[in-house]
Amino acid sequence: MPAITTELLTKFDVSGPRYTSYPTADRFVEAFGQSDYLQALDQRRTGPAAMALPLSLYVHIPFCESLCYYCACNKIITKHHDRSAPYLRYLAKEVDLHVQHIGAGQSVSQLHLGGGTPTFFSDDELSDLMAMLRRNFSLVPGGEYSIEVDPRTVTADRLAHLARLGFNRLSFGVQDFDPLVQKAVHRVQPASQVFALVEAARGIGFESINVDLIYGLPKQTPESFDRTLAQVAELRPDRIALYAYAHLPERFKPQRRIIAIDLPGAPNKVAMLARSLAAFEQAGYVYVGMDHFALPNDALAVAKRQGRLHRNFQGYSTQPDCDLIGLGVSAIGKVGATYSQNAKSLEEYQDLLDHGHLPVVRGLAVSRDDLARRAVIMALMCQGEVLFESIELAHLIDFQDYFAAELEALRAMQDQGLVTVGDGSVQVTPMGWFFVRGVAMVFDKYLQADRTRARFSKII
C-alpha cells in the first residue's frame, strides 16, 4: 500500500462531505417546500421521459429497541412495538399522495429499507408494507431490493420471510466484532450470531449480502481491528461497507456517551483504513471506492469495471442516476433537478399528512452550475477520473476555463501524489483514494465560500 506521510495526514485531518449528493443535504433550505416538490413530481409525470425512467424508493423506519452510541441516524428508541402499525398507516398516506401526482404503476428498479431498524417491524407488518408498495408501484424483475438488518432482531426464519417478500439483498450491521468495542458503543452481538445468519441467508438464496463496518470507534486499535478484518474475510460477504466514524457530539446527542479519550487518533484511523484495504485486497475483494468493497463477481464490482458505478444517498450503487422518492420521517428524495427532505420529527411528519400535505419541509432546486459540479464530483468519487470532454459535451462549458481555479488547486495535490492532471482529464492515484473526499472538495463551490466544515465527518 502507498506510504502516507505525516504532512498529508496533518493536511487532510479536516472535515468534509461524503458526497452522497451534491449539493450536500446541509445546503437544503426551508424555502423549498411541498409546492416545489409537487412541481417536480408533476414534471416527471408530464415530461418527455414520463414513465420511462424507473424509480428508486427509500423507506425510512425510525424505530430501534436500543441505542447505539455512535449512531447519527434519525431514530426513535422504544420497546413499544405497537408504534409500528400507526407509522405504517402514515407511510400508506404518503404513498397515496405521491401516486396522485405521478400515477400508479410506476416502475421501480431499486428499493431500500433503512432506519433506524427496519426489522423492528413484525413479519406481518413488513408483509403489509411490501403489499402496499406493490399495489402502487411496479417492482421490476431483476431490480435491487435491499433491507438493513440488525442481527439482534432476526432469525433464519425471519430471513426466509424477507426473501419471500421479494428482498434479494441484505445489509448486516456489524461495525466491529471486538467485545470491548461493542460494549463501548452499546451494541453487543456475538460473532457467532452473525456467522449463523449469513450462512442461513446464503442457503435461502439472497443475491448479495453486505456487512457494515466502522473504524475509528472507541477502544479500537489497528491490532484489534485486524482481528475483525480477519473474521470478516472468513465470513466472506459479497460486499463490505467500511465507514469512518464521525464523532460529532454537538450534533448527535447519543455520541456524548462516548468517552473522547477512548477514540483512536488520526494516525491509527489511517492505519486501520490502510490495513483494511490490504486485508480485503488479499481476501480477493475489489476496492470499489472510498467505503465499499465487493467480490469480483458481485454486481457492484462489475459496475466498477464497466464504468457504470453511481453514488446516491445509500452510498455506491449499480443503478443509473434515476429519480429517488424518499418515504418516511426525515427521508431524502431526488426528483428531476431537485432534492427534498421530509420532516425530521415524527409529530410534524404525521401532522402534515393528517392535513393532506406531503411532509416535505426543506430541499433545493439544483442550478446549472450545481449540475456541472455534481457530474465532476461523482466522476471522481465513482470512476476516480474526470474526462474533460464528457463534462463539456453534457454541460456546454469549456472545462479548463470554467474550472481554472480548481485545476490550479489540484496542482498542489498532484505534487503530493494524490492526482494526475492532464490536458484532458484528472485522475485519482492509488494514494489519492485515501483522500478522495478532499479531491472532490476542490470542486465544491459551497465549501469554497464557507470554510466552517465542522458539520461534516473527518476525511480520515
Task: Please tell me the predicted confidence (pLDDT) of residue 271.
Answer: 85
pLDDT tens, residue by residue, 147-162? 999 999 999 999 999 9
Check whether 356 is labelled as a binding-site residue: no
Q: Is 322 helix (H, G, I), strand (E, B) or coil?
A: coil
Query: How far is it, in rounded angstroms, from Cα 144 to Cα 146?
Result: 6
Q: What's the mean pLDDT in 403-408?
A: 96
Q: How many CB atoms lie within 10 A of CB 96?
A: 14
Check whether 322 is labelled as a binding-site residue: no
Check whether 339 is labelled as a binding-site residue: no
Check whether 246 is labelled as a binding-site residue: yes
One CATH from 1.10.10.10, 1.20.810.10, 1.10.10.920, 1.10.150.20 for 1-23+368-460: 1.10.10.920
Closest among 286, 271, 177 to 240, alpha carbons compared: 286
For the chain, give every residue range classified as CATH 1.10.10.920.
1-23+368-460
pLDDT tens, residue by residue, 47-94? 765 446 789 999 999 999 999 999 888 899 999 999 999 999 999 999
Instruction: Calculate what percentage of the chain has a pLDDT beyond 90.
Output: 72
Task: Please tell me the predicted confidence (pLDDT) of residue 451.
Answer: 54
Check whether 148 is labelled as a binding-site residue: yes
pLDDT tens, residue by residue, 320-329? 778 999 999 9
**C-alpha distances in Å from residue 298, one per residue of 84, 183, 211:** 34, 33, 14
Q: Which residue has the cell 450470531?
A: 193
Task: Please tell me the predicted confidence (pLDDT) of residue 81.
Answer: 93
For 170, list phi and psi in degrees, rounded to 5. -120, 145
Fold for domain 25-327?
A: pyruvate-formate lyase- activating enzyme (3.80.30)
Provide the grid cell at 125. Answer: 407488518
Q: Which residue has the cell 432534492?
A: 339
Contacts of 168 (CB under 8 A, 6+ apart): 144, 145, 146, 206, 207, 208
Task: Please tell me the predicted confidence (pLDDT) of residue 248.
Answer: 85
Check whether 64 is labelled as a binding-site residue: yes
**C-alpha distances in Å from residue 383, one per residue of 322, 425, 453:** 18, 12, 25
Q: Angle, nearest 10°, between helix axes 84-102 and 346-354? A: 50
pLDDT tens, residue by residue, 351-368? 999 999 999 999 999 999
pLDDT tens, residue by residue, 215-239? 999 999 999 999 999 999 999 999 9
Task: Please tell me the predicted confidence (pLDDT) of residue 460.
Answer: 63
Instruction: Calculate what percentage of the chain has a pLDDT beyond 70.
Output: 94
Average pLDDT along the chain = 91
Q: How many helices (H) and strands (E) does the chain have?
A: 17, 19
DSSP 50: T
Q: What's the mean pLDDT in 258-266?
A: 92
Residue 49 vs residue 165, higher pLDDT: 165
Q: What's the mean pLDDT in 291-319?
A: 86
pLDDT tens, residue by residue, 170-225? 999 999 999 999 999 999 999 999 999 999 999 999 999 999 999 999 999 999 99
Q: Which residue has the cell 452510498?
A: 315
For the chain, give every residue range classified as CATH 3.80.30.20.
25-327
Check whether 115 is labelled as a binding-site residue: yes
Q: What's the mean pLDDT in 282-311?
A: 88
Check whether 260 is labelled as a binding-site residue: no
Task: Please tell me the predicted confidence (pLDDT) of residue 456.
Answer: 64
Q: CB-based burial of residue 213 (10 Å sphere; 0-12 exposed, 13-18 middle, 19+ buried)? A: buried
106 has pLDDT over 60: yes
Check whether 47 is labelled as a binding-site residue: no
Q: Is 378 helix (H, G, I), strand (E, B) or coil?
A: helix
Query: How far is it, in rounded angstroms, from Cα 197 to Cα 120?
Result: 17
Task: Please tell me the predicted confidence (pLDDT) of residue 322.
Answer: 84
Q: Is 68 helix (H, G, I), strand (E, B) or coil?
A: coil
Contacts of 110 (CB under 8 A, 6+ apart): 54, 55, 56, 57, 143, 144, 145, 317, 319, 322
Query: How far is it, in rounded angstroms, from Cα 375 to Cα 359?
Result: 29
pLDDT tens, residue by residue, 5-55? 666 766 776 778 888 889 999 899 999 999 999 999 998 888 765 446 789
Task: Please tell me the predicted confidence (pLDDT) of residue 98.
Answer: 97
Task: Please tell me the predicted confidence (pLDDT) of residue 409.
Answer: 93
112 Cα distance to chain centroid? 11
Using left for φ > 0, alpha for ψ between -120 and 50, and beta otherwise, residue 380 falls in alpha
Provide the grid cell at 257. Answer: 456517551
